[in-house]
């Protein structure tokens, strides 16, 4: 099965700084790479995703980059704000007989200090 590792496990930044979280996966058949944000007491919320035929995708202050050769993808948050504080999960997915099930990383606790 897919092995997913996420680093760092905790990240503390000052408001306005950038944050980068890296996710490494093992299954070369993975073809869909989403990032989820989970706030306390809530379900995971999809914030950005990328497909295997694309190297980078940006949505305002959030971007995701994919390196399929090295089997890792990263979440980049620029100009961080206190409301970005949450747990972030990567969750690569493989199609085929896995039918799109997500394999979650261990999570990164991001704290943005005002």
Residues that bind another protein (CB under 8 A): 31-32, 34, 36, 42-46, 49, 51, 89, 91, 93, 95-107
Asked if residue 8 has a cis previous peptide bond (ω within 30° of 0), the answer is yes
Of 47 and 112, the one with the shorter C-beta distance to another protein is 47
91: helix, coil or strand?
Answer: coil
Q: Distances from the Cα of 55 to the Cαs of 5, 88, 104, 113, in angstroms?
A: 20, 20, 21, 31
Of 2 and 11, the one with the shorter C-beta distance to another protein is 2
Of 33 and 77, the one with the shorter C-beta distance to another protein is 33
Query: In the bound complex, what is the minimum distance in angstroms from residue 33's beta carbon to another protein?
Result: 10
d(CA 105, CA 82): 23
């Amino acid at each position: 099965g897919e092995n997913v590792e996420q680093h760092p496990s905790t990240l503390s930044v000052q408001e306005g700084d950038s944050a980068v979280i890296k996710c490494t996966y093992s299954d070369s058949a993975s073809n869909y790479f989403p990032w989820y944000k989970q706030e306390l007491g809530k379900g995971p919320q999809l914030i950005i995703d990328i497909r295997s035929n694309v190297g980078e995708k940006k949505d305002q202050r959030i971007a995701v980059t994919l390196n399929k050769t090295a089997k890792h993808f990263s979440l980049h948050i620029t100009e961080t704000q206190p409301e970005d504080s949450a747990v972030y999960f990567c969750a690569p997915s493989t199609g085929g007989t896995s039918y799109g099930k997500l394999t979650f990383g261990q999570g990164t606790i991001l704290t943005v200090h005002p």
